Amino acid sequence: METAMKHATDKITILVVDDQEDFRDFLVTYLEGEGFHVLQAEDGEDALTLINNQKPHLVLLDVMMPDKNGYDVCRDIKSSTATADIPIIFVTAKTGLSDKLAGYISGGQRYLCKPFELSELDECVRAVLRQQNLKHNQLNHNFGPSQDSPDMD
């Protein structure tokens, strides 16, 4: 199925970051079934390495991980000009208001609390990707070459 967000030969890449292997595998299987290319990392350092090397279109990020928590990983992603435009969806068991606020303050676009319905995950992912696509189209429209500028070929 071809959508406005991707071409038939160009898959959207999502990075799943969670220290729980079973949950990570569950998300990977589901997202691949939906047609996405999925990368995975079990901790924040692995995630940052993958992000810098492969620049995914979206990151699904757990909060509670060993060594570096999701909020810190998000701040690292958002502090680099090379990766600041990558949207982050927190997917976590931390459900308190202060946790959600910390997610948004660190730079996350959405905050999805475990457990969740797959339809909720699907809508959250697609909404963020639509928003990102609109933002890129708006930037290209506002700052790209004008219609009457000569071709540079």
pTM: 0.82
Q: Give residues with Cβ within 8 angstroms of 42, minimum separation 6.
A: 17, 18, 19, 21, 24, 65
Band (11; pLDDT cuts 50, 70, 90) = confident
The pLDDT score that the predictor gives to residue 137 is 67
Query: In Å, how far are 6, 55, 127 from 35, measured between CA atoms?
Result: 10, 18, 16
Q: pLDDT (tens digit, 9 = 90+) per residue, 17-72? A: 999 999 999 999 999 999 999 999 999 999 999 999 999 999 999 999 988 999 99
Bridge partners for 3 per DSSP:
6
Cis peptide before 115 (omega within 30 of 0): yes
Q: Region 102-127: what's the mean pLDDT?
A: 96
Note the pLDDT tens digit of each residue in 69-111. 999 999 999 999 999 999 999 999 999 999 999 999 999 999 9
